[in-house]
Amino acid sequence: MTAELAVQATAVGKTFPTKAGDVVALTGVDLEVKVGEFVSLIGPSGCGKSTLLRLIADLDTASTGSLEIFGKSAQQARIDQDYGIAFQQAGLLPWRSVGANIALPLELHGFSAADRKARVAELAELVGLTEFIDRYPDQLSGGMQQRVAIARALAERPRLLLMDEPFGALDEMTREYLQTELARIAAETKAAVVFVTHSIPEAVFLSDRVIVMSPRPGRITDVIPMSFKGKRGDALRESPAYFVKVTAVREALHGTPVERANER
Ligand code: ADP
Ligand code: MG
């Protein structure tokens, strides 16, 4: 059963001991992400989104509970390169061309020059950067840099993509454009995605399910399925079904506007 899940978190907790006392970053987190599923984590700053993503990526370890990635430990999944990761900062190496940045994980893992070249061409095509393969990061816009980071994260065909506010530093137009691109890429590669954001429209547009979190202590308070039919595109952004879900997520985040309704 568990092998059919990309992520299975059971009663996961994380406490950071600090000089001022323990910080309970996460408590009692139960989360299952299916193979190929797109899940967003949304919640106010400090609710533990990045911490949860870092536990899944084996960049830190849980204090309590258990965590399985494709039925294995997070450590084994990391060793097996089961996931790719992308952050808010593209984190490209400025002295390497676009192609050489995308090829970095392939180089580290001993792919031949010919294999690297073929795969880089494929990835550049996937993220729409074929003509920019020989450019350098400082010659690219922020949105293009982020596309390079996504291509790099996908280099080894991971079955899971972990993204922490990857579009957080981009302007709204670029952001919407990349959201549409990411939805297409996720569908094409069939990778599961765990996507951290604090943008409600972004979470609604991209996700199969939106996981709503709240701080102090960080926990999951709601899980909202999106159940949109068909492709993620501009038509969806303007559809009534989309606004219904944006409202549902907003109310889950902020609480239903009962008090204001009573004031009237
Ligand atoms: P989010 O990504 O949702 O903004 P984080 O996961 O970064 O939240 O942080 C959750 C809580 O854990 C915050 O209160 C943060 O200050 C605390 N925290 C995160 N990492 C550490 C750490 N290494 N040491 C101490 N506290 C931490
Ligand atoms: Mg964060």
List the one residue out of 169, 164, 98 whose CA is nearest residue 137: 98
Pair 78, 4 in one domain? yes
Work out whether the CA dihedral 51, 44, 40, 203 comes out positive or negative: negative
The verdict on residue 241 lying in a domain is no
Pair 46, 9 in one domain? yes
Pair 60, 182 in one domain? yes
The verdict on residue 263 lying in a domain is no
The verdict on residue 87 lying in a domain is no
Q: Which of 129, 157, 185 delimits the end of a domain? A: 157
- pLDDT at position 261 is 47
For the stretch 170-206, pLDDT in tens is 889 889 989 999 999 999 999 999 999 989 999 999 9
The verdict on residue 239 lying in a domain is no
To test ligand 1's pocket by mutation, which of 16, 54, 55, 164 has the most ligand atoms within 8 angstroms of CB? 16
For the stretch 49-94, pLDDT in tens is 999 999 999 999 999 999 999 999 999 999 999 999 999 889 999 9
pLDDT over threshold 80, residue 227: yes
Task: Count helices and strands (H / E) in the chain.
Answer: 10, 10
- Which percentage of the chain shows pLDDT scores above 90? 84
Pair 127, 218 in one domain? no
- pLDDT at position 264 is 46
Q: Which of 157, 182, 200 delimits the end of a domain? A: 157
Give the CATH number for residue 55. 3.40.50.300
Average pLDDT, the chain: 92
Q: Do residues 30 and 86 touch, judged by C-beta distance below 8 A?
A: no
| Mean pLDDT calculated for residue range 128-154 | 95
Question: Ligand 1 mean position to 50 CA, how many Å?
Answer: 7
**Which amino acid, 100?**
A
Pair 118, 203 in one domain? no
Instruction: Assign 216 a pLDDT band (cuts: 50, 70, 90).
Output: confident
pLDDT over threshold 70, residue 258: no
- pLDDT at position 256 is 62
Question: Ligand 2 mean position to 51 CA, how many Å?
Answer: 7
pLDDT over threshold 70, residue 259: no
Q: Which of 157, 173, 197 delimits the end of a domain? A: 157
DSSP summary character for residue 192: E
Rounded CA gap, 111 and 134, in Å?
A: 20
Q: Whose CA is nearest to atom 2 of ligand 1?
A: 50
Between 8 and 126, residue with greater pLDDT: 8
Count of domains forming the chain = 2
Question: Ligand 1 mean position to 237 CA, how many Å?
Answer: 32
DSSP summary character for residue 248: H
- pLDDT at position 40 is 98
Pair 30, 131 in one domain? no
The verdict on residue 146 lying in a domain is yes
